[in-house]
Amino acid sequence: AMITHLAIKYRSIAHDFRFEQLRAHHMAQLMDLSKGFLADEPLAKATGCTLENTRAGMEYIFAYSIAANSVTGHSSMMCYENKTNTPVGILLIYPSYRETKFAPFSVPEPTLSKQEKTIFSVLDETWSKMWDIYPNENVCS
């Protein structure tokens, strides 16, 4: 009975939602979804990030992920509710390279706001720790 209940529950997910691989034409929808993410994300709150003062950084992250996915074969996805055709979420695969020269693609880096520099410096510290743990790796996702 439990397995049947789970099967019915997850079948309804497939019926109610669909996924599309992220492409450049999704950028406006990604930015709209970012508003909610930044409002709820603790690091964004602590650094004073809003969509208005981090737009360049968010656009860069999405463009980078889309470029990386097209080269690496990974699939970042946009999730839509079928009934309303409204985007409701994303799965973002974002490979981080120890040095950008290791990346098989390039995306021009934007000029960052004060808030973007602050939040990215915290993220850079996180990746620095990752490289300490995995010294022989050149890329992590």
Listing DSSP states for 3-29 in one string gives HHHHHHHHHHHHHHEEEEE--GGGHHH
Could you read off the pLDDT of 28-53 as tens digits, one per residue? 998 888 877 777 888 888 888 888 88
Could you read off the pLDDT of 70-90 as tens digits, one per residue? 887 777 888 999 999 999 888
Domain boundaries, the chain: 15-96+108-140
Residues near 9 by Cβ (< 8 Å), separated by ≥ 6?
none
Give the Å distances, CA to CA, from 6 to 2, 16, 18, 32, 45: 6, 15, 19, 32, 36
What is the amino acid identity at position 77? M
Q: Quick one: 15-96+108-140 is in which CATH superfamily?
A: Gcn5-related N-acetyltransferase (GNAT) (3.40.630.30)
